[in-house]
A = this chain, B = another copy of it.
Amino acid sequence: MLERLRDAGLRPTRQRLALARLLFEGGNRHVTAEQLHAEARREEIAVSLATIYNTLNQYRKAGLLREVVVDSGRSWFDTNLEEHHHFFHEATGALTDFEAEGLAVEGVPKAPAGTEIDRVEVIVRLRDPQ
């Protein structure tokens, strides 16, 4: 973790290390700022909400996290850096991955003049049956 932060040009402070452990140890995950803050509090890690936001954004800029936009009004951060896509269940707010392998998006038109394609994102919105 220490290395990972140093490599990203971030001082390995108490807070950043603790949050890195929550985020990166124990499998990929999706979190919002409030969720991570609540989790830190539960684990008795003293860290302010401002620092949660600072840290998530720094990790994103450093490429340690990416943002997933599925809901206006709330930012989700994703520790899974592999090419993949998302199920989003509107009713429950559940956000889950599915692998890009096996998925084919074909016939994407070329980017408008003066721009290029950064990323093709597929979001599968779910609802309750019937």
Contact = CB atoms under 8 A, between A and B. Distances in A.
Nearest to A105: B105
Contact of A72 (B67, B87, B116): B67
Contact of A127 (B103, B107, B118): B118
A106 B108 contact: no
Interface in A92-125: 96, 98, 102-109, 111-112, 114-125
Contact of A129 (B69, B116, B119): B116
Given A71-B69, A74-B72, A106-B106, A111 B123 contact: no
Interface of A: 67, 69-76, 87, 89-90, 96, 98, 102-109, 111-112, 114-129
14 contacts: A71-B72, A72-B76, A87-B111, A103-B108, A104-B104, A105-B105, A105-B106, A108-B124, A114-B128, A116-B126, A118-B125, A118-B127, A121-B123, A121-B124
